[in-house]
Amino acid sequence: MRQKIVAGNWKMNMSSESSSAFINELKSSNWPQDVNCIIAPPIIYLMELQKVNGKQIDLCGQNCHSNDSGAFTGEIGAAMLNDIGAKYCLVGHSERRSYFNESNEFLKNKVDGLLKNSIIPIYCCGETRIERENGTYFDVVEQQLNEGLFHLDNLQFTKVIIAYEPVWAIGTGLTASAKEAQEMHAYIRKTIEKVYSLEMAESISILYGGSCNPNNAKELFACKDVDGGLIGGASLEPKKFLEIAQAF
Ligand code: PEP
């Protein structure tokens, strides 16, 4: 049985006060016990949240550098994420790919840096609207996986989480239909099976991300190959985030 996961990506939002208040509200809520709760706050709040956080919530970086240390002004290494208690880190979010020109090759190094430091990468992949419309979306996602993730050996690959996030659905209010999400998740699983094994394909968690909210989460999470969500906008409000977790 794969783990059910609801992960919140706060992006460049929240404040010291609102982030602590959020965590405290979530800690006293009736978050479903069988759903893994992950929050990716801005790094500056991640450190603070570690203090108010209990065991219920796992903290996640939004980005990292592939090197542990060095002359990379403004960057944070995977070793540092580990040092401050992060358990996960997003890799290849579409905003990083498009605004910061992060290529699959570049992301591959981040994945390696994270695994070396015992941090679980949540590897994001997904096609743009044009790629959806011109029918190349399976190829695009497969290439992102091939170049950024499939260099891992069997043992390393068991540690990874994948998030399918169609770019056209992120922050737009447009959501992939349950049918579209299931189709891509099944395709990703088939691709993993080809490269690794059926057993591996069945064991890897694949999250859906893209305008997931309390109204559509139930239908998306009911899909056979959708193991949960990576939530942006709706993760900024504890009530909405909780309702999403309760949608399983
Ligand atoms: C995201 O940024 O990963 C995301 C899914 O955003 P939103 O839920 O706002 O579309």
Q: What string of H, E and C letters represents the secondary structure of 202-245?
A: HHCCEEEECCCCCCCHHHHHCCCCCCEEEECHHHCCHHHHHHHH
Domain layout of the chain by residue ranges: 4-245
Instruction: Return the closest-CA partner of residue 40 out of 86, 98, 101, 102.
Output: 86
Q: Whose CA is nearest to atom 1 of ligand 1?
A: 232
Alpha carbon distance 248, 128 (integer Å)? 28
Q: Model confidence over 77-104: pLDDT tens digits?
A: 999 999 999 999 999 999 999 999 999 9
The reported pLDDT for the residue numbered 53 is 73
Q: Model confidence over 11-35: pLDDT tens digits?
A: 999 999 999 999 999 988 999 999 9
Q: For the chain, what percent of residues have pLDDT higher than 90?
A: 92
The reported pLDDT for the residue numbered 1 is 82
Ligand 1 centroid to 39 CA: how many Å? 13
Report phi then psi at 18, rounded to 5: -70, -30
pTM to 2 decimals? 0.96
Give the torsion sign (CA, 54, 123, 204, 199).
negative
Fold adopted by 4-245: TIM Barrel (3.20.20)
Q: Model confidence over 154-184: pLDDT tens digits?
A: 999 999 999 999 999 998 988 999 999 999 9
Q: Model confidence over 228-238: pLDDT tens digits?
A: 999 999 999 99
Alpha carbon distance 39, 50 (integer Å)? 11
The reported pLDDT for the residue numbered 56 is 81
Ligand 1 centroid to 139 CA: how many Å? 22
Would you please indicate which residues are annotated as catalytic (active-site) residues?
Answer: 93, 165
Task: Report the atom number in ligand 1 closest to the C-alpha of 233.
Answer: 9
Asked if the model's pLDDT at residue 55 lies above 80, the reply is no
Q: Cβ(212) to ligand 1 under 6 A?
A: yes
Ligand 1 centroid to 126 CA: how many Å? 12
Q: E-assigned strands of 145-214? A: 161-164, 206-209
The reported pLDDT for the residue numbered 108 is 98
Q: Whose CA is nearest to atom 7 of ligand 1?
A: 232
Give me 102's structure tokens: 């992060």
